[in-house]
Structures are given as C-alpha cells and as structure tokens.
Structure 1
C-alpha cells in the first residue's frame, strides 16, 4: 500500500441518544434491519446484512440532551414517496419540512429523539 491509498472504510454510524434500545428499534423498523441481541440502556446496534444495506448503526447513551441541529444526517431514497411518508410518520418520525425542486422532492423528518433525516425521491415534476 502506498501513501495515497486509503486504508480506512466506514464501519458504522454512531448516534448519541438518551434511549439506545428504543432508537435502535425505530431505525430498525425504518430500514428493515434487526436490532442485535443484547441491546441495553447503554448501547444497541443494527447489523448490516451486506455492504449494500449500508454500514452498521450504533446507538449509545450519552448524558447530554440534543441541543442543536445535526451536522450529519441520513438521506433515505425511495420510489414510493407518499407511502414511505405515511409509514415513517406511523413509526414516530415527525415531518419538519418539505421541499420540491425540478427533478427531486424531499421531506425532512425528526426521529423520536429529534435527529433530522431526509426522505428523497427523484424524478418529481
């Protein structure tokens, strides 16, 4: 390996939260993934079935509450935009904003702990 070849990859996304088991359950339902056995009040994780399903997701308990907007958020893509908005809202996501531009449409949501994420669809008129 030479100095210009990266020797790292994204193993997981870690989300700080107040209730790891509950937030892992929410995201597991959103993404259709299983929560790893052994979730506790301190940490929980979603396993990635294969590289196409994305990185693992870790949820860890932290003492401080969320106070500002996320500096990193997930973008979810779908071809069934309206159905997914309904499904995500039913799981506990709170719609915050909706934007439509030529060729794309997205809704910004907050998960049960207030972490923002976007649902996008492309080809919107």
Structure 2
C-alpha cells in the first residue's frame, strides 16, 4: 500500500501573491503569511490538504493546462458569477456524464471548473 498523499497543487504563474489572493477569495480562505510575487500558498496555515502553492516561473508552458481544479458548489451559477466578479473569465458551460459544470480562466489564464459534483464526480 502506498504512503503517498497529495501535499500541494502547484500553479506556475506570473505573480504568485496576486494569483494566490484570487484563489483565497474564491475559496473563502486566506493567503498564508510571507506571500511574495515569487512564492505564495493558500491553506498551509489552516492545515488544508492539499495546499495551493503558487510559484513565479519565467516561461510558462504554452497551450492548455493539463491539470486544473474542479470546484464543487450546490449553486453553480452564483459561484460562477462570484468568480467572474473576482476577475475570472467565463469560458464555457457543459452538461455531460451526469455532471453540470462551467469552465473559467483565472486572471492569468489558468483553467478551472465550477460544477455541481454530480454522479460522475
């Protein structure tokens, strides 16, 4: 049996503190102390697992990100509206595999989903 657990979900970005602030507000948390434009975390101080980690990188991989956050909410529409109000961009709406979700892009263009957590989640 493996002893591996997910410790962090890491996002390469242009400004770690700013993007961490976006996700902290979106998730109702706080940016951990010591955030800079180069490195920031959300959830470490609160003992969250996994911790969201943001690291400034000089050259992000081009194209669609292959890993993204799937966030679940009982009221998808209101959470999408709130995310857009925080600076996200609405990309598309989907209803497949027994799940309803909306794909958005964060302020730096990283994709994430807000869905109802239906049967397939």
Q: Same fold (TM over 0.5)?
A: yes
Match of 1:120 in 2: 115
Larger Rg: 1
Aligned counterpart for 1:42 among listed residues 34, 38, 46? 38
- Distance in 2 between the 1:118 and 1:107 partners? 5
* Pairwise CA distance, 1:103: 3.7
RMSD of aligned residue pairs (Cα, Å): 1.7
Instruction: Find the residue that maps to 1:35 and give its secondary structure.
Output: coil
Provide the aligned length of Structure 1 versus Structure 2: 117
Give the gaps of 5 or more residues in structure 1.
none
1:21 to 2:29 alignment: no
- Distance in 1 between the 2:5 and 2:97 partners? 34
Aligned counterpart for 2:58 among listed residues 63, 74, 96? 63
Give the gaps of 5 or more residues in structure 2.
none
Match of 2:82 in 1: 87
* Pairwise CA distance, 1:8: 1.6
Match of 1:8 in 2: 4
Instruction: Find the residue that maps to 1:22 and give its secondary structure.
Output: helix
Q: Structure 1 stretch 35-44 or stretch 96-105: which is displaced more?
A: 96-105
